[in-house]
Structure 1
Amino acid sequence: MTLFHKRLAIVAFPALMLAMAGFAQAATAEDAGKSIDQTVEKTGTTMDEAKESAGERTEKTGSYMDDSAITTKVKAEILGDPMLKVLQIHVTTTDGVVYLSGEVDSQQSIDRAKEVAEGVKHVKSVTSALVVKGAK
């Protein structure tokens, strides 16, 4: 091997090694980039799913709170009505539908309780299971 070849080998070998290392790093960097992209995509999907789930829970909770508020308002209106305040009328609300149950002293009381409940804001409908005392 001539001196020229030795010098070429001394210069070329490290250059070749650096080039190979660069390709390896480029491949590694590309793989890392792909991995990061995939992780970001999965995280975005997970975040979207979490937002949807949180929105559904909020919607359900909001509905429950609205139903609770409607029930409270209907009970207050019934207690504030001179014709109904002494009667035992049970009120429950599900998805804006008010359910009245219990015993009252006349058909007029049933009609009035339904009218009062229907007049409360956000009530979608009223279902009555009220019965007249002693009626069979």
Structure 2
Amino acid sequence: MNLFHRRLASVGFPALMLAVAGLVQAATAEDAGKSIDQMIEKTGTKMQEAKEALGEKAAKTGDYLDDAAITAKIKAEILGDPLLKVLQIHVTTTDGVVRLSGEVDSPQSIERATALAARVNQVKSVTSELVVKGVK
């Protein structure tokens, strides 16, 4: 049972129980009908709130997966480049913004790594905190 169904059950079942309890206490059929209508309306509202919350979480998860894919693509590009050493360059991505850090062998390595990262799809910007070994 996925999260949506569990939340639906956790909202729907108590609302149904309240509706039944309201029916028992209702003096007339008209009162019972009103109670059921109110419970259905409240349940619908709660279900919509749960759906919206799940949608937001799904969007955040999607963003995280996009960032992980961007990082993996950049690492693969660095690995395939003969001028760069993948173990020297750390790549992090947050909301499409890439940060490169570490110590590389030359200024050309900094330029090359930055250019490789910038051309990967979905990269919004690249910040380089790379430094040349021995130069501080």
SS of 2:28 mapped into structure 1: helix
Q: 1:87: how far off? A: 5.4
Counterpart mapping for 1:59-74 below 5 A: 59-74=59-74
TM-score, structure 1 as length reference: 0.77
Question: Is residue 78–residue 86 contact of structure 2 (8 Å, CA) maintained in 1?
Answer: no
Q: RMSD over aligned Cα, in angstroms?
A: 1.5
Question: Is residue 71–residue 93 contact of structure 1 (8 Å, CA) maintained in 2?
Answer: yes
Unaligned segments of structure 1, at least 5 residues: 1-26
> In structure 2, how many angstroms separate the alpha carbons of the residues matched to 1:58 and 1:43?
22
1:18-47 CA-to-partner distances (Å, cap 9, x unmatched) read xxxxxxxxx611111111111111111111
Which segment is superposed worse, 82-91 or 64-73?
Answer: 82-91
1:57-113 CA-to-partner distances (Å, cap 9, x unmatched) read 000000000111110010000111111136510011111111100001111111110
- Pick the structure with greater CA Rg: 1
Question: Is residue 87–residue 104 contact of structure 1 (8 Å, CA) maintained in 2?
Answer: no
Moved over 6 A (4+): none
Q: 1:55: how far off? A: 0.5
TM-score, structure 2 as length reference: 0.77
Which segment is superposed worse, 77-86 or 111-120?
Answer: 77-86
SS of 2:128 mapped into structure 1: strand
Question: What letter corresponds to residue 36 of structure 2 in structure 1?
Answer: I
Question: What letter corresponds to residue 69 of structure 1 in structure 2?
Answer: A
> In structure 1, how many angstroms separate the alpha carbons of the residues matched to 2:109 and 2:35?
70
**Residue equivalent to 1:116:** 116
